[in-house]
């Protein structure tokens, strides 16, 4: 909680208010959510926008920012003696608000008063798209908007202002992200060492989780630890590693302040990749390095994505899986048989930063819209990069048997795909590497401690552990 001093939160709110034309900004924090009954809860996670402007990680809060007067109020409930019996005493609402640089802490009764007064005088109440049902109901309660109409009533002016502000990371945020990614990198290096035949995926997943928890951190999302790397979001761990398998890990740590890391690695379960695995690994790596080389301000992330697709396609041609002109193949989407997801996304207080504000509002602009075809639609970020953006780079190659069968039956893009060769790879699995970067004025900077990605580095990491 409170990653930064109060001056940071005060300055962030002042900037937000300067970018919204008029009215009241109404920000909702998150509530505790029951798993199977009300008092057995999921770990509490504060809303990231609320964390960004207030730093207070406590359930049951909301806030109003009056754009004209600058008056900012945090609303919540003080602890009762009953609460204290179960949870111990925590700092008062007034004290927490004070640490965020807010002078006024009020009970909820005052919230209705403030909002009603504003509504009566015809002022706009700006709010964000809620992603939790209890916050949708709060909007109904306080603003009288029917739950089914809430999404249509969100403030695009507020969404734009917040996306603009949160996209550019300050130096103190970048420090936090370095720390989150370094911890994520330690988790990955440990997983690489544990990848040996006979080990269960679940043991490696547990160890990754343990390393985060040991540092007082948590996971930024449920870890992917799988020998079936072609299943893009596989989050069950029922397999045991065997000689010849590859292990794909996609996992990251989230610091107590909310800042996230998001890394992926693919390593052999045995000592070495097979020749066939090595060839595909090198193609993915070359595509990855090509993307990193191009990360800099003013370049469209879409163009970097396409460049990585062409690089990948050339690699696939070199092993006989693909044929024809790479640029034409990528323009018509032939590469998406092998590379179905995007190149990367923004990273910050959310692992897909600000995705609750709408992918289109964060990764694209009104005059640079997302492409909706298969493959392209999974590119969460397409717009021009700016100094201070933090992004992931994660190209991959995945052989998905069902997709291969479907495309082959349709003879789809057969001028670019060598289907008889593809058959030899149908049980290959998938390969992805992922790293996180901050965009700097002349290029980019790797976040966190380096994690092995060259084959000789992976070999060294695995051997270090097996030595007595
Ligand atoms: Mn990612």
Q: What distance in angstroms lies between residue 118's CA and the mean position of ligand 1's atoms?
A: 41
Which pLDDT score is estimated for 116? 94
Does residue 129 lie in a domain region?
yes
Look at the block and give the residue holding tokens 């990069």: 385
Q: What distance in angstroms lies between residue 257's CA and the mean position of ligand 1's atoms?
A: 19
Q: What distance in angstroms lies between residue 84's CA and the mean position of ligand 1's atoms?
A: 40
Which pLDDT score is estimated for 54? 98
Q: Has residue 142 got a pLDDT over 60?
A: yes
| pLDDT tens digits along 67-81 | 999 999 999 999 999
Which pLDDT score is estimated for 463? 83
Domains contained in the chain, number: 2
Q: What is the CATH number of the domain that holds 405?
A: 3.90.230.10
Q: What distance in angstroms lies between residue 425's CA and the mean position of ligand 1's atoms?
A: 25
| pLDDT tens digits along 160-216 | 999 999 999 999 999 999 999 999 999 999 999 999 999 999 999 999 999 999 999
Q: What distance in angstroms lies between residue 284's CA and the mean position of ligand 1's atoms?
A: 15
Q: Is 381 in the same domain as 310?
A: yes
Q: Has residue 232 got a pLDDT over 90?
A: yes
Which pLDDT score is estimated for 121? 94
Rounded mean pLDDT, 259-271: 97
The domain containing residue 154 runs over which residues? 6-167
The percentage of residues in the chain with a pLDDT greater than 90, rounded to a whole number, is: 96
Q: Has residue 468 got a pLDDT over 60?
A: no
Q: What distance in angstroms lies between residue 77's CA and the mean position of ligand 1's atoms?
A: 37
Q: What distance in angstroms lies between residue 324's CA and the mean position of ligand 1's atoms?
A: 30
Which pLDDT score is estimated for 109? 86
Which pLDDT score is estimated for 303? 97
Q: What distance in angstroms lies between residue 350's CA and the mean position of ligand 1's atoms?
A: 11
Give the pLDDT band (50/70/90) at residue 466: low
| pLDDT tens digits along 286-308 | 999 999 999 999 999 999 999 99
Which pLDDT score is estimated for 400? 98
Does residue 162 lie in a domain region?
yes
Which pLDDT score is estimated for 325? 98
Q: What is the CATH number of the domain that holds 161?
A: 3.40.350.10
> Of the residues 109, 139, 167, which one is the last residue of a structural domain?
167
Q: What distance in angstroms lies between residue 420's CA and the mean position of ligand 1's atoms?
A: 32
Q: What distance in angstroms lies between residue 363's CA and the mean position of ligand 1's atoms?
A: 14
Q: Is 136 in the same domain as 205?
A: no
Which pLDDT score is estimated for 464? 79
Q: Has residue 127 got a pLDDT over 80?
A: yes
């Amino acid at each position: 909680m409170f990653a930064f001093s109060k001056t940071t939160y005060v300055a962030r709110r002042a900037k937000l208010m300067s970018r919204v034309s008029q009215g009241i900004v109404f920000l909702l924090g998150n509530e505790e959510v029951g798993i199977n009954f009300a008092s057995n809860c999921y770990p509490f996670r504060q809303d990231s926008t609320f964390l960004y402007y207030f730093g207070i990680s406590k359930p049951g809060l909301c806030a109003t920012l009056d754009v004209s007067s600058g008056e900012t109020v945090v609303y919540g409930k003080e602890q009762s003696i009953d609460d204290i019996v179960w949870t111990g005493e925590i700092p008062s609402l007034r004290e927490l608000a004070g640490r965020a640089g807010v002078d006024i802490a009020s009970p909820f009764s005052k919230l209705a008063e403030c909002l009603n007064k504003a509504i009566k005088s015809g002022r706009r109440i700006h709010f964000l798209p809620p992603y939790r049902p209890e916050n949708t109901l709060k909007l109904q309660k306080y603003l009288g908007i029917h739950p089914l109409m809430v999404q249509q009533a969100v403030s695009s002016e507020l969404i734009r202002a917040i996306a603009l502000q949160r996209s550019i990371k300050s130096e103190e945020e970048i420090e936090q992200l370095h720390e989150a990614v370094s911890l994520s990198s330690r988790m990955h290096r440990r997983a690489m060492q544990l990848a040996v035949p006979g080990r269960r995926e679940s043991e490696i997943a547990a160890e990754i989780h343990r390393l985060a928890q040991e540092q007082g951190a948590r996971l930024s999302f449920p870890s992917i630890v799988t020998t079936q790397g072609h299943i893009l979001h596989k989050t069950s761990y029922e397999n045991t590693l065997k000689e010849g398998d590859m292990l794909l890990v996609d996992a990251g740590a989230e610091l107590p302040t909310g800042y996230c890391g998001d890394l992926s690695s693919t390593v052999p379960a045995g000592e070495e990749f097979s020749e066939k695995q090595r060839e595909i690994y090198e193609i993915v790596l070359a595509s990855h390095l090509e993307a990193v080389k191009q990360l800099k301000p003013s370049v469209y992330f879409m163009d970097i994505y396409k460049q990585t697709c062409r690089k990948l396609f050339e690699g696939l041609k070199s092993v006989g899986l693909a044929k024809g002109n790479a640029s034409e193949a990528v323009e018509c989407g032939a590469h998406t048989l092998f590379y179905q997801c995007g190149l990367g996304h923004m990273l910050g207080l959310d692992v897909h930063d600000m995705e609750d504000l709408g992918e289109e509002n964060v990764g694209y602009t009104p005059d640079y819209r997302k492409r909706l075809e298969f493959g392209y639609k999974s590119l969460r970020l397409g717009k021009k990069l700016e100094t201070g953006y933090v992004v992931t780079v994660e190209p991959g190659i995945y052989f998905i048997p069902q997709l291969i069968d479907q495309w082959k039956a349709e003879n789809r893009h057969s001028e670019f795909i060598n289907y008889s060769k593809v058959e030899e790879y149908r049980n290959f699995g998938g390969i992805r590497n992922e790293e996180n970067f901050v965009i700097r004025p002349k290029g980019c900077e790797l976040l966190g401690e380096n994690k092995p990605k060259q084959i000789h580095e992976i070999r060294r990491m695995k051997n270090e552990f097996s030595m007595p």
